[in-house]
Amino acid sequence: MGERRRVVITGVGAVTPIGSGVAGLWEGLRRQESAVRCITRFDPSLFKSRIAGEVDDFHAADHIEERRARRLDRFSQFSVAATRMALADAELDLKREDPDRIGAMMGTALGGVAHGEEQYHNFLKGGPRAVDPALALTVFAGAASCNIAIEFGCTGPNSTNGMSCASGAIAIGEGFRAIVREEADIMLAGGAEAPLAPLCFGAFAIIRAMSTRNDDPLHASRPFDAGRDGFVMAEGAAVLVLEERGRAVARGAPIYAEVCGYGLTNDAYHMTAPRPDGRQAARCMSNALTEARVAPHEVGYINAHGSSTPLNDPTETSSIKQVFGGHAYRLALSGTKGYYGHALGASGAIEAAICALAFRHGWVPPTVNLETPDPACDLDLIAGEGRALTPEYMLSNSFGFGGINAALVFGRGDA
């Protein structure tokens, strides 16, 4: 058996509340401020939470042929647009590649459900003739990866998982493994979410999972802060171009980072609350490090899940200590959802993209809005200003409803 295939990130595409594309996302990070605002997409007055991270600079026609864009809902538009950005960033012309060796893996929590909600209102008002004829093709989660495949002619492995807030990270992990297993040479992997519709939003409001800091939206998403009161819903997408390292080097591709390992476990405890002892989240991180062949002390930075919820943040802190021991206090950590909120199934992909950019620029972002750290969250949380940092390895956590835990380990692309 030969040496395991290595997988690198050669392209980044993003649609986020703080900015889109590589330049927009990076500029948004360097501003070091939140993009959370009062909701404009619909009237949120029925709910106790009335704030969100909205993408207000997205125009589908900038990325997708206009006639085709009209047949896609916002969720699928985000997926295709982020992929096109990533391919351009990777300087990769898929027409010159073997389509059977290119696949797409995506993640989402709600898929096209928000579009379905809108069409239901059309049905009530005007009957079947008022409904989008493409409804059946937009509401299923697989529309993300399938539309990417159709748009770019990728006939390799294809899947969209619906594993809640960990699904974007899972898609990247599964894309990584598809290349390692020699099922593909290039994988387009990430997550997309467009959940800002009354019923979708209200479902999370009903269970009191979201912040009600409506009078101060810029400071509502505050991971690890003692004053946090819930997450802030957001929309967005991110897609990474994953490539077998040898072919990427041979074509002179720009390399951001290497995907080294992936872990996936389940708490088997509760649909919304994390397992109090954090044991399965810790095992997830340990498994990712084992696959990466990286010792805990070699990790220099963690992009935490940091959802800004009362239970998740201290549980994640505890699980990190279980894995890293005394080194937990020596590594840097930040929760970037303070910037843009929680884009559910897209969050893990957005945060993987942030790790990729952090490697390239030698700078990691702060935990925005961290003013008074929770005493139970006593690690080096990078408050206030970002930090110049060039670690050998980074780890990114994504945890979701149903007790799902996913972790990704990234290494320097020039290693």
Which domains, from first to last, does the chain contain?
7-250 (3.40.47.10), 263-412 (3.40.47.10)
Q: What distance in Å separates the CA atoms of residue 163 and residue 172, rounded to the nearest whole number?
A: 13
Please determine, for residue 9, whether its predicted confidence score (pLDDT) is greater than 80. Answer: yes
Q: 163: which 2 tokens?
A: 């594993």
Q: Nearest Cα to 87, choosing from 141, 26, 151?
A: 151
* Catalytic residue selected from 154, 200, 342, 377: 342
Q: What distance in Å separates the CA atoms of residue 32 and residue 365, rounded to the nearest whole number?
A: 7
**The residue to which tokens 């200590």 are assigned:** 321
Average pLDDT estimate for 215-232: 98
C-alpha pair distances (Å), 300 with each of 172, 316, 328, 396: 21, 17, 9, 11
- The per-residue pLDDT for 415 is 58
Is residue 415 helix, strand or coil?
coil
Asked if 305 is an active-site residue, the reply is yes
The predicted-structure confidence for 85-104, as pLDDT tens digits, reads as follows 999 999 999 999 999 999 99
Q: 280: which 2 tokens?
A: 């399965």
C-alpha pair distances (Å), 99 with each of 92, 96, 155, 157, 158: 13, 9, 5, 10, 12
- What's the CA dihedral at 29, 72, 157, 83 to 10 degrees? -30
- The per-residue pLDDT for 251 is 96
* Catalytic residue selected from 165, 284, 355, 377: 165
Average pLDDT estimate for 191-210: 96
Mean pLDDT of all residues belonging to the chain: 97
C-alpha pair distances (Å), 72 with each of 68, 112, 117, 144: 7, 10, 15, 10
- Give me the phi and psi of 214, to 5 degrees please: -70, -25
Q: What distance in Å separates the CA atoms of residue 177 and residue 288, rounded to the nearest whole number?
A: 12
Q: pLDDT category, 413, cuts 50, 70, 90? A: confident
The predicted-structure confidence for 329-383, as pLDDT tens digits, reads as follows 999 999 999 999 999 999 999 999 999 999 999 999 999 999 999 999 999 999 9
- The per-residue pLDDT for 414 is 78
- The per-residue pLDDT for 302 is 98
Please determine, for residue 1, whether its predicted confidence score (pLDDT) is greater than 50. Answer: no
Angle, helices 113-126/198-206, rounded to nearest 10 degrees: 120
Average pLDDT estimate for 65-87: 97
Is residue 392 helix, strand or coil?
coil
- The per-residue pLDDT for 335 is 98
Cβ-Cβ contacts under 8 Å for 40 (sequence gap 6 or more): 54, 56
**The residue to which tokens 């960990």 are assigned:** 166
Q: Are 99 and 156 within 8 A, CB to CB?
A: yes
- The per-residue pLDDT for 244 is 98
To the nearest whole percent, how much of the chain has pLDDT over 70? 99
Q: Nearest Cα to 302, choosing from 411, 373, 394?
A: 394
To the nearest whole percent, how much of the chain has pLDDT over 90? 99
- The per-residue pLDDT for 148 is 98
Q: What distance in Å separates the CA atoms of residue 25 and residue 55, rounded to the nearest whole number?
A: 12
Q: Are 381 and 224 within 8 A, CB to CB?
A: yes
Q: What distance in Å separates the CA atoms of residue 81 and residue 239, rounded to the nearest whole number?
A: 9
The predicted-structure confidence for 290-312, as pLDDT tens digits, reads as follows 999 999 999 999 999 999 999 99
Q: What distance in Å separates the CA atoms of residue 78 and residue 327, rounded to the nearest whole number?
A: 38
**The residue to which tokens 């595409």 are assigned:** 13
- Give me the phi and psi of 35, to 5 degrees please: -110, 10
Measured between its terminal Cα atoms, the distance across the chain in Å is 23
Q: Are 239 and 169 within 8 A, CB to CB?
A: no
Q: Are 176 and 245 within 8 A, CB to CB?
A: no
Asked if 165 is an active-site residue, the reply is yes
Q: pLDDT category, 2, cuts 50, 70, 90? A: low
Please determine, for residue 216, whether its predicted confidence score (pLDDT) is greater than 90. Answer: yes
Q: Are 230 and 309 within 8 A, CB to CB?
A: yes
Q: Distance between alpha carbon 25 and the CA centroid of its chain, in Å?
A: 13
User: Does the pTM exceed 0.95?
Assistant: yes
Q: Nearest Cα to 287, choosing from 176, 391, 407, 166?
A: 407
